[in-house]
Amino acid sequence: MKPPKQIDVIDNHKGFTALTKSNTHVKIVMGKNGEREAVRSDYNPTLTLPFIRWQKVRRESNTGWQTAEGVEKMSKRNLPIIAAQNSKLGKIPNVSTIPGADCLRGVPCAKISECYAMKFFNMYPNVRNAWRHNSQLAHKKPETFFNGIRVYVDKKRPRFFRWHVAGDILDQSYLNSMKSIAVEFPETKFLAFTKRYEFDYSNLPSNLSIVFSAWVEKPLPEEMPKDIHIAWVRDAHHLDNRIPKTAIECPGFCESCGMCWNLKTIKRDVVFHKH
């Protein structure tokens, strides 16, 4: 059997297959040394091999096989560490990066005395190691980072998912990946609070709620993006007169509330009491 002349790799969140220019599906299997992948042209397209990514495909001479170089089988070191719950969220999975380092510079809450996430980061080594690991993946291997989240959501099918108990949206490409994941998993509702007002928040999927975090000292955009609502902070020592009377008071436990995942549906802001 002659190998196909050219292979296009097709990626989906449940697994990976390949497609030739003639629309022939081929299978990707582990090579003997565990670092290379072989692609066979007599593949049953109804099957997939999960947890594999690749960079390029080349033709191997004198055989009926193709090999994919730069392939990386996902191991624990290549998966983001996703927390299944915490004391405030309850049993809501969440992923975090490094507080401060992965946040907008100069925001009022960046001080250690103001940031609850920074306190946890400094206090608990397991939390610190997990968030550092996720940060390194998000910066150096963003495709791996987001594919790992796809794998988790596809397996667990959570009702709610929370981005960034610590950290923030890194850039526009990061935000676009968040949008893509929400589109891929419409049955899960995703939530992110952010101080990165400068990105393009148009065309948000209906199940992705982006909430702008507001502080007394931080001005908000003159024109708010569509479907974006605000999380206010009620500070007894620094009153913020901008807080609307219709803002929902956070009851303090997300699992039994879930209101923040639905702010753009109910069209109201939320207000938190300062920690």
Q: What is the pLDDT of residue 12?
A: 37
Helix (H, G, I), strand (E, B) or coil at 174: helix
Q: What is the pLDDT of residue 35?
A: 35
pLDDT of 73 over the 90 cut: no
From residue 134, how far is each of 36, 63, 129, 218 by CA, in Å?
26, 41, 9, 28
Alpha carbon distance, N-terminus to C-terminus of the chain = 67
Instruction: Report pTM.
Output: 0.72
Q: Which of 63-67, 124-128, 212-216 is predicted least confidently? A: 63-67
% of the chain at pLDDT higher than 70: 70
HEC string of 104-130?
A: CCCCHHHCCCCCHHHHHHHHCHHHHHH
Q: What is the pLDDT of residue 122?
A: 87
DSSP tag of 38: E
Q: What is the pLDDT of residue 112?
A: 57
Q: Which of 36-45, 89-98, 202-211 is predicted least confidently? A: 36-45
Mean pLDDT of 153-159: 95
Mean pLDDT of 133-147: 95
pLDDT band, very low/low/confident/very high, at 275 (cuts 50, 70, 90) = low
Q: Quick: pLDDT tens for 106-128.
A: 777 766 566 878 888 888 899 99
Q: What is the pLDDT of residue 107?
A: 76
CA distance 234 to 245: 12
Q: What is the pLDDT of residue 65?
A: 32
pLDDT band, very low/low/confident/very high, at 210 (cuts 50, 70, 90) = very high
CA distance 125 to 183: 34
CA distance 205 to 29: 35
Helix (H, G, I), strand (E, B) or coil at 58: strand
pLDDT of 17 over the 80 cut: no
Q: What are phi and psi of 250, to 5 degrees?
A: -65, 125
Q: Quick: pLDDT tens for 233-252.
A: 988 888 889 999 999 999 88
Q: What is the pLDDT of residue 80?
A: 95
Mean pLDDT of 157-182: 97
Let me know: does 46 contact 12? Beta carbons within 8 Å: no
From residue 16, how far is each of 11, 147, 253 by CA, in Å?
5, 11, 38
Q: Which residues of 136-174 are buried (b: 16+ CB within 10 A; e: fewer)?
A: ebbbebeebbbbbbbbbbbeeebebbbbbbbbbbbeeeb
Q: What is the pLDDT of residue 76?
A: 65
For residue 57, the cross-strand partners are: 68
Closest by Cα among 19, 21, 57 to 36: 57
Between 9 and 227, the higher pLDDT residue: 227
Most confident option among 12-26, 52-66, 153-167: 153-167
CA distance 176 to 170: 11
Q: What is the pLDDT of residue 113?
A: 63
Determine how many CB atoms are found less than 10 A away from the CB of residue 3.
Answer: 19
* Interacting residues of 257 by C-beta distance below 8 A, sequence separation 6+: 250, 251
Domain assignments of the chain as residue spans, ordered by start: 7-73, 76-273
β-bridge pairing 248-249 and 229-234 = unpaired
